[in-house]
């Protein structure tokens, strides 16, 4: 299966969903970039990540011209609100799923979203549950 050098297929090993992505998506993830840099990609790149989480990641990055763009916090808040329905377990699961990609852009984005929750006095998530999500972000960055 030959792919256009500017297009890549990533596939969830969990639910087999496939996504055709461009180099911007690949370059925004240390894992994907390393895979593409050290191997000739002739088949889909298989990832241990659910398709719905990959779709969120792709939607986030496709909103921007480049991954160096300033974050559009309103867009990101709306995206994460729609994906997680402000449910703390869904948010934690999304963070766990996407940490495998090792994307600074995603981690900066989700960190800002969590900080926004802290600043919202009417937040429905309590501190103990949010700490778990922060642990995954901070803990992952240390390794």
pLDDT at residue 126, as a whole number: 60
pLDDT at residue 119, as a whole number: 72
In a domain, 87, yes or no: yes
In a domain, 1, yes or no: no
pLDDT in tens, 94-108: 999 999 999 999 999
pLDDT band at 142 (very low <50, low <70, confident <90, very high): very low
pLDDT at residue 143, as a whole number: 40
In a domain, 94, yes or no: yes
Question: With contact defined as beta carbons under 8 Å apart, do 48 and 13 qualify?
Answer: yes
In a domain, 39, yes or no: yes
Instruction: For residue 90, give every residue at least 6 positions away whose Cβ sits within 8 Å of its Cβ, in sequence order, or none.
Output: 83, 84
Domain range enclosing 38: 7-142
pLDDT in tens, 38-88: 888 889 999 999 999 999 999 999 999 887 778 899 999 999 999 988 788
**Which segments of 13-115 are extended strands (E)?**
18-22, 45-47
CATH number at residue 75: 3.30.710.10
In a domain, 2, yes or no: no
pLDDT band at 127 (very low <50, low <70, confident <90, very high): low
The larger pLDDT score, comparing residue 130 to residue 12, is at 12
pLDDT (average), residues 109-133: 69
Q: Is the pLDDT of residue 118 over 90?
A: no
pLDDT at residue 67, as a whole number: 77
Q: Is the pLDDT of residue 123 over 60?
A: no
In a domain, 26, yes or no: yes
Q: Average pLDDT of the chain?
A: 84
Q: What is the reported pTM?
A: 0.80
Strand order of the β-sheet with 18-22 is 18-22, 7-12, 45-47
| CA nearest neighbour of 113 among 105, 32, 47 | 105
| CA nearest neighbour of 99 among 67, 55, 64, 53 | 53
State the total domains in the chain. Answer: 1
């Amino acid at each position: 299966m030959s792919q256009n050098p500017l297009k890549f297929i990533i596939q969830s090993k969990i639910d087999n969903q496939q996504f055709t992505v461009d180099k911007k998506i690949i370059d925004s993830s240390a894992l994907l970039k390393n895979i593409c840099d050290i191997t000739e990609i002739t088949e889909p790149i298989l990832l241990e990540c659910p398709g719905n989480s990959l779709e969120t990641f792709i939607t986030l990055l496709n909103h921007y011209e480049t991954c160096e763009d300033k974050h559009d916090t309103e867009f990101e808040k709306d995206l994460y609100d729609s994906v997680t329905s402000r449910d703390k377990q869904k948010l934690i699961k999304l963070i766990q799923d996407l940490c495998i990609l090792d994307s600074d852009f995603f981690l900066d984005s989700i960190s800002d979203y969590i900080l926004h929750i802290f600043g919202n006095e009417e937040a429905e998530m309590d501190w103990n549950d949010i700490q778990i999500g922060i642990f995954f972000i901070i803990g992952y960055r240390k390794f």
